[in-house]
Structure 1
């Protein structure tokens, strides 16, 4: 085997696999244009292992000694098996699945790979994977005869490769964009199987794996010819979301079915300019608030318009326009604005139309007390004074309820421990005690959060007495914090009512304290629930806070 054959077919084999290797390696320089990092990593690994696989075939063909040929062939087996794993990683990432990130699948794949590699590299000991002999057709070469372990590994590899094909083809059939070119590229990667069968069953081709040739064609197609369409398909993977693909000059290249349903006027508008065909979308992209209102079937729907660049610097960076339905959120926002307007009107009514007559009545009552000699224990006078004072308290509480329900606009990082201790100092606590179990950093409106704690502390003092102990801490199993006391707790059956305006168990209470707390919690976008503490008191849990490092 020291003298290399000089037949044209031999030179063709060497040239084809050498070109395949160089093509795969050259394509690696183009992958930085792919925006999705997982897809880019998977394709990078596929091209690297396939290029190395093809290069190992070249080494197998041109090596002058049998031992070198066997070394190159074994290296090709190892790299070929790695290429299967890279193929699955790429297919999972490109189609939007998460199999490639699943720790269990990754550990299983590594274990299977190590086991099969061990079988391949120890073949000289057991010779169950392959044996070799020198043959003269179609040119003098070292022919490989595969054993039962080879067919086991090959069957597993083909099955896994088919899973990858299925993921890609399923995506292509579900996407409304034109994917015929990508269909063809994926199909070409499977064609070398035919060459494998011919090489195994006939003397016309040598018995060697030809898969690197298909991957090389796929690499050229994706990295050099169809990279724009390759990315556009991935970006349009959400079938129910309208997607419009534009070229570098904002001319429409493609649309999916959801976009045509939303905008029937662009059916057949490929090649038309976006500003001409959909001026409202173009204007939305240039605005600070990219929310598009669309009249659809007699109702108004709202879409957030976003854009994602794709393509290469050389070919030009096109854009994919994605319209995400945010109708529910926008309707909620509009309803919230209407509610806030009504609350402001109500607060104005309470503040002026009710407080003014109350102030007049209070002033006249004080004058009456000065002008008329009243007994110190006059029950009627005391009752009138209590009623006027209670009405003033109620008006203040109603105004507070309306004010605290406004959505939070200014968020700052706060410390649970610092805010709780600062709020405690603002409350008349007598001999009561505050305990802070542990701290939590999260985002909130500091002033409103301080008032929230003050209301909870006053509630504990009002019901638990001057010696109550209040404990504050961070929840361990979910994002949030708790406040509980060792007082008498919430009466049985009243858990759902404590946050309603007017609920109180004390004759002198207004019933707005916990309602105001609930409004402040809701204004932050959090939720609050009440349970019984371990000591039998009331335990309030505030959930949904956004913690910060």
Structure 2
């Protein structure tokens, strides 16, 4: 006795409560195929346990016979319920019609009616109370209705067990474990009922099945409600016993294919929980040893890993289709690209999805490389067309001048014509150098080094014919750049200042320490630099055009100098803007730099 309740009675009540709890959980899982019949199996076990609790714990004849009637009804109901569950679970739900369900329910209904009324003693024969061990016990002989119910139940139980066994042999992974769990559950209940019926049960009456259900009822709560795995099942020796005797290689081949396939496979149920995953799927997730089955998909694949927010829709339960080029960030920080094929799984309605995942990172990277190469070739082709126009137009005029001057010098022996030819050749040399420089500067910068703004500016100034012009550097800073290309940028800017500002123009170089949108940066940071002069400046309506290839306002100009400046800036990822200096001259602002060190004190150059 425990708290005044016999231990056996308390265990039976506990078994009934556990089965009721599992049935309540399955009630919420009804959209899932096969859940409703399984819920009735648990209801039958609960009624069986409560009925036997009345038989064992009741003191009056009416309570004990009522408990037997409830047990008989539960016994008659568990066979059809398990049979219907097995058919639905094994994919034979199309054969389960409302007429079949109604026909299977006739015997349980008759068993309940005849068990309560015992008409003509068809169910029980002369039930009486006898005292055994100081407690009243029901002595009863079973009638034909009882044996008919037993035969009916066993027939359906054996058919259901056969269907589950076939599913077990042909299943894989979590489905094989789950099927074995249901099969073992059914076989245990069948064996316990059989032992009680033939009088070999170690417990009185028909209490063995409800008592055995205590173990499986607890495991059911662990598996169904807690979403735990089936790792406690002794599958390996069972598979060694039966697996080699399978007459079909199809399940084995299917398992091997899915386990060894180069892509990942993830199966989710109607509540978007992971119910199966293959080894490659675990590898793709970056969690080869973590417990994934049973966890919500959005916990396994958090939305934050997707580089494109639109791709998070793949985690929504109702989404299906083929999705290409899905970029994610792996747990180790690497960016990977995947193609994902999501297919709906239909049972009694939509019951889940299967997602096939293929790593296509190398394909996408090759594709990006080819696209970049194609863009570069297209740009170079455009440049070639421009160069062809420059060579055919701009070089023809000085070449004609040189030819004419040389011819006149030969005829008249006047050397001033040779000076004209020399000037024409110098003009052609300038054009050729500008064209070659422009062709080389179009490439993307691959390697950079730390450079000093004032030092590079001074070096470039020394290579330009600056006449009486002067250069001042108001503030120095260090930043990353391709030194040779930066020299070409300054050379062309300085040449432009001298050509358009006059021989005595004053040119100034300085830093820009304000970020975009006017946000003031720290004193130790650098946003860009500028080159300005005190010449006549550039008209506002021409400031955008001066950076275009071929634009010039001088008959002697090639229209390539500032275009070279623009291409150097683009190659570094910088931006260039043409504006007006404080003195009304031209000002070129190059921004988008990253400082390599702190800004230095003002250091004007002589």
Same fold by TM-score greater than 0.5:
no
Alignment TM-score, normalising by the size of structure 1: 0.42
Between structure 1 and structure 2, the one with the greater Rg is 2
